[in-house]
């Protein structure tokens, strides 16, 4: 057997163990650890090592967790925040990753000494079983409910992480069609330019996979709106004529023609693109009249699929010739959304939330403020400086 197949077998055994009512969490985590090591999934391997109570991770993680709790308890305690940042930087040298090993739920569980804290999961299982069989609520140090909460968290999290890796290993070699390649490229490019249209296009693609005729009808309607929206973006309506064609709001196909005349140099490419747009335009207009009458039964699924495919092809053509005119104006840190902070700064969502909380609390935000947030280091600060304006609104 290959290393990959061996890892898959280990993960399947681990998941089966986790799904048993009295399955051993320790055994499952050990198997996940071996599988992770086989396929060089370092983050998962370290997470398992932490659950198993292995040093050097445990000593460092315990210190980091306690420091982060102290810093979050009092956001004005600069010494506590500085200590948390310092310890986190040291932990990173061991391969610790904030979003993978220091989530809020993980810290909450691991800093609860009554639930075992950073002690290995085997000891926690044994202690829980002893208290349960002895019908005791605690032994003076560890409490039954806290231990159960810890076990439940590790069982659930181990199942989630193992399932994710198993899916990745099983389907990593699943072939993609040529259309998949085109679709993903168009989705990514359109998301950068017009997220609303991109989302509509992705929804239309999902709709043609439905067995319901009303969904096929909706996909066709969406395709028409996408082409109209693209025309509005590339060549807004006007009172002028282009080659004898009107360029008003309803003449979205004509406006795409006008855009292509300006954007495409090659006459051959231009004529082919225009012919393609005309074909889809006629198709969508015809279907639009049918769907407006509420006759869903007359909408054929094949027609809906073709319309979506042609829309992707046309959008791909148009985006290929789209002139990029990025704005020099940076987004403002004081108005940035949670999604913008997360994506632009490449931070996890919990850190992005802390930024917004601090922004609300201080009614402004400076680089010095950002330094106080655990998980934000020099690289993130540099990215914030280059990507955001800190000018007060």
Task: Tell whether the model's pLDDT for residue 133 goes beyond 80.
Answer: yes
Could you tell me the two tokens for 227? 């082409």
Domain boundary among 114, 149, 171: 171
- Could you tell me if 80 and 208 lie in one domain? no
- Could you tell me if 29 and 120 lie in one domain? yes
Task: Tell whether the model's pLDDT for residue 376 goes beyond 60.
Answer: yes
Distance CA 49, CA 64 (A): 16
Better-predicted residue by pLDDT, 338 or 7: 7
- Could you tell me if 260 and 291 lie in one domain? yes
Report CA-CA distances (Å) from 122 to 25, 30, 100, 249. Answer: 8, 10, 21, 69
pLDDT-derived band at 12 (thresholds 50, 70, 90) equals very high
On whether residue 111 sits in a domain, the answer given is yes
Average pLDDT of span 301-307: 81
On whether residue 209 sits in a domain, the answer given is yes
- Could you tell me if 96 and 219 lie in one domain? no
Total count of domains within the chain? 3
On whether residue 393 sits in a domain, the answer given is no
| Residue 375, domain extent | 338-387
Better-predicted residue by pLDDT, 281 or 334: 334
Those residues whose C-beta lies under 8 Å from the C-beta of residue 267, and which sit 6 or more positions away, are none
Average pLDDT of span 296-309: 74
- For the range 61-65, what are the long-range contacts, defined as Cβ-Cβ under 8 Å and sequence gap of 24 or more? 61/91, 61/96, 61/101, 61/110, 61/118, 62/110, 62/111, 62/117, 62/118, 63/87, 64/88, 64/91, 64/96, 64/102, 65/102, 65/107, 65/110, 65/111, 65/118
On whether residue 89 sits in a domain, the answer given is yes
- Could you tell me if 15 and 162 lie in one domain? yes
pLDDT-derived band at 288 (thresholds 50, 70, 90) equals low
- Could you tell me if 250 and 350 lie in one domain? no
- Could you tell me if 41 and 145 lie in one domain? yes
Tell me 50's DSSP state: H
Better-predicted residue by pLDDT, 25 or 82: 25
40 — phi, psi (to 5°)? 60, 45
Global pTM? Answer: 0.45
pLDDT-derived band at 173 (thresholds 50, 70, 90) equals low
Distance CA 342, CA 387 (A): 12
- Could you tell me if 151 and 196 lie in one domain? no
Distance CA 299, CA 37 (A): 52
pLDDT in tens, 195-223: 888 888 888 888 887 777 788 888 888 88
Kindly report which listed range (3-12, 60-69, 187-196) carries the lowest average pLDDT score.
60-69
Give me the pLDDT at residue 220, please: 82
pLDDT in tens, 231-272: 888 888 888 887 788 889 888 888 888 887 776 656 666 676
Task: Tell whether the model's pLDDT for residue 156 goes beyond 90.
Answer: yes
Distance CA 318, CA 256 (A): 9
- Could you tell me if 261 and 305 lie in one domain? yes
Domain boundary among 154, 171, 188: 171
Distance CA 41, CA 165 (A): 9
Cβ 69 vs Cβ 88: under 8 Å = no
Tell me 329's DSSP state: P
Give me the pLDDT at residue 324, please: 43
On whether residue 330 sits in a domain, the answer given is no
Give me the pLDDT at residue 144, please: 94
- Could you tell me if 367 and 296 lie in one domain? no
- Could you tell me if 164 and 298 lie in one domain? no
Q: What average pLDDT is seen over the chain?
A: 82
Domain boundary among 292, 320, 348: 320
- Could you tell me if 268 and 189 lie in one domain? yes
Closest to 285 measured CA to CA, from 251, 314, 309, 238: 251
pLDDT-derived band at 174 (thresholds 50, 70, 90) equals low
On whether residue 329 sits in a domain, the answer given is no
pLDDT in tens, 71-90: 666 667 677 777 777 877 87
Give me the pLDDT at residue 24, please: 95
On whether residue 256 sits in a domain, the answer given is yes
On whether residue 313 sits in a domain, the answer given is yes
Annotate 160-208 with three-state secondary structure. HHHHHHHHHHHHCCCCCCHHHHHHHHHHHHHHHHCHHHHHHHHHHHHHC
Distance CA 130, CA 152 (A): 17
């Amino acid at each position: 057997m290959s290393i990959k197949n061996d890892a898959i077998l280990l993960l399947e055994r681990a998941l089966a163990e986790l799904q048993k009512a009295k399955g051993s969490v320790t055994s499952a985590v050990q198997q996940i650890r071996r599988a992770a090591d086989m396929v060089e999934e370092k983050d998962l391997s370290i997470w398992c090592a932490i659950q198993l109570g292995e040093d050097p991770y445990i000593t460092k993680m315990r210190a980091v967790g306690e420091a982060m709790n102290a810093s979050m308890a009092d956001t004005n305690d600069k010494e506590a925040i500085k200590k948390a940042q310092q310890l986190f930087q040291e932990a990173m040298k061991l391969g610790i990753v904030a979003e993978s090993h220091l989530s809020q739920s993980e810290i909450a569980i691991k800093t609860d000494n009554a639930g075992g804290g950073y002690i290995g999961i085997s000891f926690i299982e044994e202690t829980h079983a002893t208290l349960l069989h002895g019908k005791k609520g605690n032994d003076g140090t560890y409490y039954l409910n806290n231990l159960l909460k810890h076990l439940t968290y590790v069982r659930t999290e181990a199942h989630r992480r193992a399932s994710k890796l198993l899916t990745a290993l099983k389907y990593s070699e699943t072939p993609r069609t040529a259309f998949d390649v085109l679709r993903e490229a168009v989705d990514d490019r359109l998301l950068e330019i017009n997220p609303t249209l991109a989302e509509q296009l992705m929804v239309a693609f999902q709709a043609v996979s439905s067995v319901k005729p009303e969904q096929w009808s909706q996909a066709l309607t969406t395709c028409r709106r996408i082409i109209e929206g693209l025309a509005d973006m590339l060549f807004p309506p006007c009172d002028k004529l282009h080659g004898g064609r009107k360029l008003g709001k309803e003449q979205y196909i004509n406006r795409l023609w006008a855009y292509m005349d300006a954007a495409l140099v090659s006459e051959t490419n231009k004529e082919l693109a225009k012919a393609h747009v005309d074909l889809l335009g006629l198709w969508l207009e015809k279907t639009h009249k049918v769907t407006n009458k509420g006759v869903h039964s007359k909408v054929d699924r094949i027609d809906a699929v073709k319309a979506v495919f042609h829309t992707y092809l046309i959008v791909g053509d148009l985006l290929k010739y789209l002139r990029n005119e990025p704005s020099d104006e940076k987004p403002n840190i004081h108005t940035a959304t949670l999604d913008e902070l997360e994506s632009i700064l490449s931070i996890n969502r919990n850190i992005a939330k802390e930024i917004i909380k601090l922004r609300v609390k201080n009614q402004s935000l400076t680089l010095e403020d950002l330094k106080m947030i655990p998980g934000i280091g020099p690289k993130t600060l540099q990215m914030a400086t280059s990507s955001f304006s800190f000018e007060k609104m």
